[in-house]
Amino acid sequence: MAEPAVPQSHPVEGPPLGDLGRRLARRRTEVGLTRKEAAVRAGMAPSYFQYLEEHPGAAPGPGVLSRLAAALETTVADLSGGSADLPPGPGRAARAPVFSRLSAHECRDLLASHGVGRVAVPTLSGPVIVPVNYSVVEGAVVFRTAPGTTLFEAAGCQVAFEVDRIDDVFSQGWSVLVRGHARVVADPDDVRRLTESVHSEPWTGGRRDVWVRIDPLVVTGRRITV
């Protein structure tokens, strides 16, 4: 299938635009490829790959999507958004999976590279697991919440925090578990420093101006590869 001509007014370099462009850029980053490298893998001109990432109206055909998926080690459904509402992990287990424990250094690197995790909060009716946007500052997990929320109840408790990455295409992934004490950040200078340095906004919206910090006591991780 021939590639459409790239508009002459198209910029030399720009951010991903449109859902397909963002998915392409995210997956390309995950597998550690430049635009040129990804284009070579997919058997297309780098300028066309750039067009797909940056042009919100790009609509490649099934053949091009298949080549892109193969080059980026993913599926057409993932690139096109067909699996966006499906939970990870329905794929079959690999024939010869390798289970390994992550080192403390690997756990810290993976923890710092992510942006959404889950907090297990003890409540009067039992433990509740809540997803949250987070950052890592000085080795501690920090996030914003508001009084009256389940996450706010974590303050003053021993909690568990987990982050993971599941790759359904290759039936592999990793997870990092943090166990520690959660507390509200009360010092005004600490609050100001966090507010100025952490740029992760809560996806839930609304006013979330209470900072909670989880100081790790135990950090463990595991990985499954093929």
Q: What is the pLDDT of residues 47-105, one digit of tens each?
A: 999 999 998 888 888 899 999 999 998 888 888 876 655 566 666 666 777 889 999 99
Residue 73 is part of a domain; what is its CATH number?
1.10.260.40
Distance separating alpha carbons of residues 28 and 54, to the nearest angstrom:
14
124: helix, coil or strand? Answer: coil
- Please report the pLDDT score of residue 47 as a whole number: 93
Q: Which residues pair with 164 in a beta bridge?
A: 175
92 belongs to a structural domain: no
What domain range is 134 assigned to? 98-225
Binning pLDDT at 50, 70 and 90, where does residue 17 land? low
Backbone dihedral angles phi then psi of residue 39, each to the nearest 5 degrees: -65, -45
Convert 65-110 into a string of H (helix), E (strand) and C (coil). Answer: HHHHHHHCCCCHHHHHCCCCCCCCCCCCCCCCCEEEECCHHHHHHH
Let me know whether 127 and 213 are in one domain: yes
The whole-angstrom separation of Cα 114 and Cα 96 is 27
Distance CA 213, CA 216 (A): 9
Q: For the chain, how many structural domains are there in total?
A: 2
Cα gap 33→31, rounded to integer Å? 6
Question: Which of 95-104, 128-137, 164-173 has the highest mean predicted lDDT (pLDDT)?
Answer: 128-137
Domain boundary among 80, 109, 126: 80
> pLDDT band for position 20 (50/70/90)?
confident
Average pLDDT, the chain: 84
**What average pLDDT does this structure show over 194-203?**
79
CB neighbours of residue 70 within 10 Å: 14
Give residue 74's pLDDT: 86
Q: Is the pLDDT of residue 2 over 60?
A: no
Residues 25 and 104 in one domain: no
Q: How far apart are CA 52 and CA 46, in angstroms?
A: 10
88 in any annotated domain: no
Domain annotation covers residue 9 = no
Cα-based angle 76, 80, 81 (whole degrees, multiple of 5):
115
Given a cut of 80, whether residue 150 has pLDDT beyond it is yes
**Are 34 and 141 found together in one domain?**
no
What is the pLDDT, as a whole number, of residue 15?
Answer: 57
Query: What pLDDT is stored for residue 145 in this prediction?
Result: 93
pLDDT in tens, 93-119: 667 778 899 999 999 999 988 789 999
In this structure, the answer to whether residues 138 and 212 fall within a common structural domain is: yes
The percent of the chain in helix, strand and coil, each rounded to the nearest 5, is 30, 30, 40
Q: How far apart (Å, rounded) are the C-alpha atoms in residues 178 and 107?
A: 9
Residues 6+ apart with CB under 8 A from 42: 49, 64, 67, 68, 70, 71, 72
